[in-house]
Amino acid sequence: MKTKAQFLDEILKINPKYNTELIGKAFDKAQELHDGQLRKSGEPYFIHPINVAIILAQLGMDEATIIGGLLHDVVEDTEYTRDQLVKDFGEEIALLVDGVTKLGTIKFESKEEIQAENFRKMFLAMSKDIRVLIIKLADRLHNMRTIEYMKPAKIEEKCKETLEIYAPLAGRLGISTVKFELEDIALKYLHPEEFKDLQEKVSLRKSQREETINTVIGEIKEALDDMDLEYDIYGRAKHFYSIYKKMKFQNKQIDEIFDLIAVRIIVDTVKDCYAVLGIVHTMWKPIPGRFKDYIAMPKPNMYQSLHTTVIGDNGEPFEIQIRTHEMHEVAEYGIAAHWKYKEGNTSAEASSDDIKLAWLRQSIEWQQDLNDPKDFLETMKMDLFATQVFVFTPRGDVIELPAGSTPLDFAFKIHSAIGCKCVGAKVNGKMVTIDHTLQNGDIVEIVTSANSSGPSADWLKIAKSSNARNKIRSWLKKENKSDNIEKGKEVLDKAIRKKGYDPALCAKSVYVTKAMKAMNFANADEGYAQLSNGGSLVSKFCSLLFSYYNEDNKTEAKSDESVLDDIKATEAKRQRAEQRRKDSPGVIVKGADNLMIKLARCCNPVPGDEIVGFITKGRGISVHRKDCSNVTSLPEKEKARFIEVEWEDLKMGKSYDADICIVGSDRKGILSDISRVCEDMDIHLSGVNAKTGRDGSLTMTITLSISSTQEMQKVLRNLRNINGVTHVYRAKS
């Protein structure tokens, strides 16, 4: 383990301007607090914060970040409190340590790609200061360098977490040196055989590659020396994980990877970059489509460089990268490079232009013309995702919501049915009201009740997301319309009885339809909703209804007593018919009666399907679709048990279970989109069975309540229009 003197000497070689008194004080405090603690390797624990601080110094970070690296575990792993930290080292250091501690509490229980991206966003959102993220990356890098001392299961977990969360986060911040090392270490332990094989393949060609690079460098030097340019030039080795990804996911052999051999040229100005490019393209033929101008169009993480792949004299392709010194610093250290320039690095001038991080989808000005690095850091102390909040489900899934969102927004984001039945929520294990404001990192559990009366107009004031408000409005509109329709039917029924008519006789659909049309209602539902207001509109409607009925039946109004008898008789008849309708599957056997009939569950026929009956042994008639595989695969001798059946007209309004298969890509929100299609069509979704593939595919079978083949075709069409769905078809069996 390094002594204090050795540690200070090492970081002073990196930056002689570091305040060794402050950093030395932090060294002493961390050493004191971690005294007696050991790592998995059996070494003193203090080795870890020392190495984290050295990594931060190598990245060019400021004194506060170095101190934060030395102290990053003291509040979490010792009895040293935040208040003591503030007293000894100030609020700035305390904020950095506190931020790293909070990030360490996030548990990565869900590892899908979409979740990994959300976790990276949450890291950004929970960091009030970019330096917190850089300390966390340095912490992870040293832990990965010493990962061999962990148990195999823990090694696998940490390596996957590194590839999904930390390495891409380093890439987002443009710190390629950290990104590449994290990826290579993770590859070494996750896929040891592939890593060893790759090492051997690269090693076999090492001498040939070095010879080619040296030849290319010599030729370029000769050309550039004639131009009187200041430049640096060297060969570059592609890191193993990058080669592995190209071989695995692009199905390439190592010989097909063009940028395995690469030369990097670093010059003083942008003008020199393009001048060197012109020289290179006159010396070797460029490969079409392999030129990238990241100077004119920088990558989202601020990376700038010219990339071109050319064919060498021996027919071997190789890549050349051309950039300025400042671009090189940014390429290697990303956002951390700006601390180097602010500390007085004279190798490049500070740009007067704002550098904008496009990947944040917001304009954040990096004050490049500030002389004091502390002023520059002030631009970092902000919530980078001020318009968003990231919260957890109880299962560990990350849900992204607008800032200021409440449990109502969370509930409707999960599913509209959960939102409509929401009565409260638990946030971090404590009960809260539905208007509670959610914070980054909250674990939210929705409390629902079957007795809930559903959304009210007040919910529109509570919900912050447009998704939740739209669903609340839709529910209110639907429920109000439904209530008015039922009320209209009751008003009409009462008016008909008052006039001495039997509602069951004169309010038949044929008469109602005529009357609705005569009064210019768009449809029956609109008409009933209008009639719910009562008044002269109902009287006019009844007059039309009676005239159509009397015209057909040539009858006069009956006495109250006879009307009552008719009503009782009609109601009894209706109840018997209704019971028969409920008990019957809606299928009849031609030429037979009183047979036990049931619809086959293997193919779930619906009205409109071609069907056939099969005489079972002791279980009556089983009705199948004619294309059911259980029917078509029967041997000839069994087909003698088929019997002719047909749909009963009275049953065309009944709903039947039907299975539909959906194939597509596994993306966030696809189940919600499917549910929304069913909800919009007023079709009940009674079952879901889904499985995902390693290639990101999704295969799902849903069970719907369908009334006819026409409705079936419509729902199939609507499901096919969902983003990410490639195939939709009806299950045969």
* Residues 6+ positions from 262 with CB-CB distance below 8 Å: 235, 236, 237, 238, 318, 319, 320, 321
Q: What are the beta bridge partners of residue 425?
A: 432, 446
Secondary structure class of 103 (helix, strand, coil): helix
CA distance 66 to 18: 9
Is the backbone of residue 510 left (phi > 0), alpha (psi -120 to 50) or beta?
Answer: alpha
> How big is the CA angle at 262 (ends 257 and 263), to the nearest 5 degrees?
165
Q: Which of 28, 32, 35, 77 is catalytic?
A: 77
Sign of CA dihedral 361, 184, 74, 17: negative
Between the alpha carbon of residue 127 and those of residues 104, 215, 484, the distances in Å are 12, 47, 52
What's the DSSP call for residue 35?
T
Secondary structure class of 722 (helix, strand, coil): coil
Between the alpha carbon of residue 622 and those of residues 10, 81, 519, 585, 595, the distances in Å are 84, 73, 47, 11, 11
CB atoms within 10 A of CB 79: 8
CA distance 723 to 733: 27
Backbone angles phi and psi of 181, in degrees to 5: -70, -40
CA distance 388 to 121: 10
- Give me the DSSP letters along 398-430: EEEEETT--HHHHHHHH-HHHHHTEEEEEETTE
Q: Which amino acid is at 695?
A: D
Tokens of 444: 């939210």
Q: Which of 10, 76, 525, 627 is catalytic?
A: 76
Secondary structure class of 199 (helix, strand, coil): helix
* Residue pair 333/60 in contact by the 8 Å Cβ criterion: yes
Tokens of 279: 């020289």
What's the DSSP call for residue 586?
S
What is the gyration radius of the CA atoms in the chain, in angstroms?
37
CA distance 438 to 434: 10
Q: What are the beta bridge partners of residue 614?
A: 622, 642
User: How many whole angstroms from its chain centre is CA 665?
Assistant: 12
Between the alpha carbon of residue 182 and those of residues 47, 164, 359, the distances in Å are 19, 11, 21
CB atoms within 10 A of CB 264: 17
What's the DSSP call for residue 701?
E
* Residues 6+ positions from 391 with CB-CB distance below 8 Å: 398, 399, 401, 410, 438, 439, 440, 441, 442, 443, 444
Active site residue 230: no
Active site residue 77: yes
Backbone angles phi and psi of 237, in degrees to 5: -95, 130
- Give me the DSSP letters along 221-256: HHHHHTTT--EEEEEEEPPHHHHHHHHHHS---GGG
| Catalytic machinery residues | 76-77
